[in-house]
Chain A
Amino acid sequence: MSIFSSVFFGFIFISAISFFVFNCKKILRNINIGRGINRSDNKKQRFFNMLRLAFGQSKMLDKPFVGFLHLVVYVAFVLINIELIEIVIDGFLNKHRVLAPYLGGFYNFLTAFFEILALLVIISVVVFWVRRNILKIKRFISNDLKGWPKTDANYILYIELVLMLLFLNMNATDLYLQSSSYSDYYQSYGYFPVSQFLSPIYSSFSDLTVLYVERISWWSHIIGILFFLNYLYYSKHLHILLAFPNTYFSNLESIGKMDNLSSVYNEVKTMLDPNNDPYAVSNSNLPIEKFGASDVFDLNWFQLLNAYTCTECGRCSSECPANQTGKILSPRTIIMKTRDRLEEVGKNIDKNGKFIDDGKKLLDDYISKEELWACTTCNACVESCPIGIDPLSIIVDMRRYMVMEQSSAPTELNNMMNNIENNGAPWPFNQLDRLNWKN
């Protein structure tokens, strides 16, 4: 029986980890579909940003109440998972609380600490659920989240709640069994400040029943955690991992600075070069680079990492002036649709070995021109993201495609651009009148 249990545990554990690694590789491959961008500079500052934003969650505390609850859930999850070390060793060796004899009094401290954290998580998760489902907070009832995103958000809360309840129940039954006929196996280890109040529930049960309840809780808890690990890939909850690389690689420069496209610079240089022969045949064999982005292939890998990292919290959209005034633009959906398209492209590659044209694009099939033209480039979305996601860069790259490849800018903008080209100002004034204001 004991060998069977260990083998069964090993099978589940290794399968779950393998499947997780398999999906991680897929994410990495999909992110690498993007164009190159150099984010290998300033390693120190990048590391500090990661510590501050992802580890320290500094921007989450802009909203102090939810920021604090989020911090509780995060810290608790990280710390409670230390307990997993013991659970996994127990599982492989078919032992119970294998580390307890080595840690002595500190073990009591740990079990007590984990229980209090678990209780705090339960409270936070309930508050989060109420905010999402009862209080109808604008960012959560938005159309952006219709369907799977809303379900996903609730699933995460349910899973966390169930895992914490299983954890406490595991301890409650353990405590009961420590003074039962199974006390040889369930030795008196640990201090349980929360579950000691649950333990009396089992006083009228037989020892054997409680033993089963304990075993079921133990197995469900670890299987639940392994399930949750694999759920991440299908969920916005992936941010718990990707927030770290995303903050590390995020933009370090002034957010007002928009990149100068180098492919355009080469053309501009040639055009403005007085020695350039406009009729010369180009001797360059390089393919002409596409300007801007119409699909995920044209975005850079950091933008694609953004798409996988997004937690769909909607802080960006609630700060967006266009979104606040009822336009269909929502920076959150720009990111979510980029992720949807990237996933679709990834599945296409899984199926065909390489990408086979599916007649779709990010532009028009996922993100409409109307959304893109509603942006004021005010950077409120970029500023508001707690983990350094930049929806604006995607919007501008797609505008670049619409203007430079499709010539599909709104007429008024074409007039403005013609004016700049002809008169050096966005309005039809004569360049020679520039100094007339002083008269």
Chain B
Amino acid sequence: MNVPTLKELSQNGLDPEILFWVGCAGSFDERAKKITKSFVKLLNKANISFGVLGIEESCTGDPAKRAGNEFLYQMQAVSNIETLNSYNFKKIVTTCPHCFNTIKNEYPSLGGNYDVIHHTQLLDDLIKNGKIKVQNESFKGKKITFHDPCYLGRANKEFKAPRNLIDSVKADLKEMKSCKEKGLCCGAGGAQMFKDAEKGNEEINIKRTKEAIDTNAKIIAAGCPFCNTMLSDGLKNQKAEQKVKVLDIAEIVEQASID
């Protein structure tokens, strides 16, 4: 798999068009690694000049910041900004809405000003201008529901790009009871991913998974590695993992793409 690092590129005097910020989940989580690979395959298919930071990448600090540890967040942010500012690229793309939101909205006032997009936005563009071509067979007419990640949708008002992609593979998009601005969280945000939930009468991811199952969709499309984990766990809890699958939008597009 062709994955150059920015260090390698710059040693050869090259600057990539796009810096792919892989994120911690995309780098280490077994499930999310598959999403990363699918997305890289698409970048290669579309002949995009891109690079990753590799071992120079470090957590954006988002979970620390939202847990209240502003200190740790800023240490991460300032050192990441230093790394990012030492390279030349046009855009940053991330497969994680948390990284996307943090770099886009919270890095500027610490000296990191970049054009940041989410991978669904890039893929939407690539399909629109014909750089990625999809066939109609794999998903045509299949019921797919889309779970809006809070930090892509509500926080950054991107509702269209992922839905355009679902349309582009000719799938039948079924919206959940709460979607778009009113989309229900998967339960992972604000560092909840890393701790047990407080006492209640239901887990948030199970409530959300039920809403997804209620649409009768066979695929839950996600745009965030954390949502992906939460919803996959929800399906196991509901014993529905044989009937319904959670796929990242990048995986859907990659499966439908033509070489």
Are the CB atoms of B192 and A379 closer together than 8 Å? no
Q: Is B3 an interface residue (CB 8 A)?
A: yes
Q: Which residues of A in the span 112-145 have a Cβ within 8 Å of any Cβ on B?
A: none
Q: Which of B29, B67, B181 makes the CB contact (< 8 A) with A417?
A: B67
Q: A431: shortest Cβ distance to chain B, in Å?
A: 6
Q: Is A164 an interface residue (CB 8 A)?
A: no
Residue numbers of B with Cβ under 8 A of A are: 1, 3, 5, 22, 24, 26-29, 33, 36-37, 40, 52, 54-55, 57-59, 61, 63-72, 74-79, 101, 105-106, 109-110, 150-151, 154-157, 181-182, 184-185, 187-204, 207-208
Return 20 A-B CB contacts under 8 Å, by A number: A254-B101, A256-B155, A260-B109, A261-B74, A319-B182, A325-B201, A327-B198, A376-B188, A376-B190, A376-B204, A378-B189, A384-B182, A409-B67, A416-B191, A417-B67, A420-B59, A424-B24, A427-B29, A433-B28, A437-B37
Q: Which of A376, A413, A415 makes the CB contact (< 8 A) with B185?
A: A376
Are the CB atoms of A260 and B74 closer together than 8 Å? yes
Are the CB atoms of A268 and B78 closer together than 8 Å? yes
B151 CB contacts on chain A under 8 angstroms: 256
Are the CB atoms of B36 and A437 closer together than 8 Å? yes
Query: Once bound together, how far apart are the Cα atoms of A426 and B201, in whole Å?
Result: 28
Are the CB atoms of B106 and A257 closer together than 8 Å? yes
Residue numbers of A with Cβ under 8 A of B are: 253-258, 260-261, 264-265, 267-269, 271-272, 291-292, 319, 321-322, 324-329, 370, 373-380, 383-384, 396, 398-404, 409-410, 412-413, 415-417, 420-421, 424-427, 429, 431-438
Are the CB atoms of A425 and B191 closer together than 8 Å? no
Closest Cβ neighbor of B188 among chain A residues? A376
Q: B111: shortest Cβ distance to chain A, in Å?
A: 10
Known: A268-B75, A429-B28. A370 touches B198 (CB 8 A): yes
Are the CB atoms of B59 and A417 closer together than 8 Å? no
Query: Once bound together, how far apart are the Cα atoms of A135 and B219, in whole Å?
Result: 38
A436 CB contacts on chain B under 8 angstroms: 27
B55 CB contacts on chain A under 8 angstroms: 431-432, 434-435
Are the CB atoms of A377 and B189 closer together than 8 Å? yes
Query: Once bound together, how far apart are the Cα atoms of A325 and B187, in whole Å?
Result: 10
Q: Which of B150, B187, B195, B203 makes the CB contact (< 8 A) with A410?
A: B195
Known: A383-B181, A420-B76, A425-B28. A438 touches B155 (CB 8 A): no
Query: Once bound together, how far apart are the Cα atoms of A424 and B76, in whole Å?
Result: 8
Query: Once bound together, how far apart are the Cα atoms of A425 and B150, in whole Å?
Result: 21
The prevalent SS among residues of A at the interface is helix
Closest Cβ neighbor of B40 among chain A residues? A438
B61 CB contacts on chain A under 8 angstroms: 420
B106 CB contacts on chain A under 8 angstroms: 257-258, 260
B37 CB contacts on chain A under 8 angstroms: 437-438
- Give the 7 A-B residue pairs with the shortest CB-CB distance, closest first: A256-B155, A399-B68, A377-B190, A326-B201, A424-B58, A326-B200, A378-B185
Q: Which of A398, A399, A401, A435 makes the CB contact (< 8 A) with B27?
A: A435
Known: A265-B110, A409-B68. A253 touches B105 (CB 8 A): yes
- Most B CB atoms within 10 A — which of A255, A319, A417? A417
Known: A399-B68, A433-B28. A412 touches B3 (CB 8 A): no
A378 CB contacts on chain B under 8 angstroms: 150, 154, 185, 189-190
Are the CB atoms of A434 and B27 closer together than 8 Å? yes
Are the CB atoms of A329 and B198 closer together than 8 Å? yes
Closest Cβ neighbor of B207 among chain A residues? A325
Q: A412: shortest Cβ distance to chain B, in Å?
A: 4
Q: Which of B70, B77, B198 makes the CB contact (< 8 A) with A322?
A: B198
Are the CB atoms of A412 and B195 closer together than 8 Å? yes
Query: Once bound together, how far apart are the Cα atoms of A416 and B110, in whole Å?
Result: 23
A409 CB contacts on chain B under 8 angstroms: 67-69
Known: A260-B109, A319-B182, A435-B52. A272 touches B198 (CB 8 A): no
Q: B251: shortest Cβ distance to chain A, in Å?
A: 14
Q: A182: shortest Cβ distance to chain B, in Å?
A: 59
Are the CB atoms of A425 and B70 closer together than 8 Å? no
Are the CB atoms of B71 and A267 closer together than 8 Å? yes
B101 CB contacts on chain A under 8 angstroms: 254, 256-257
Query: Once bound together, how far apart are the Cα atoms of A396 and B27, in whole Å?
Result: 28
Query: Once bound together, how far apart are the Cα atoms of A361 and B36, in whole Å?
Result: 46
Are the CB atoms of B75 and A271 closer together than 8 Å? yes
Are the CB atoms of B184 and A427 closer together than 8 Å? no
Q: A286: shortest Cβ distance to chain B, in Å?
A: 18
Q: B25: shortest Cβ distance to chain A, in Å?
A: 9
Are the CB atoms of A438 and B150 closer together than 8 Å? no
Are the CB atoms of B184 and A321 closer together than 8 Å? yes
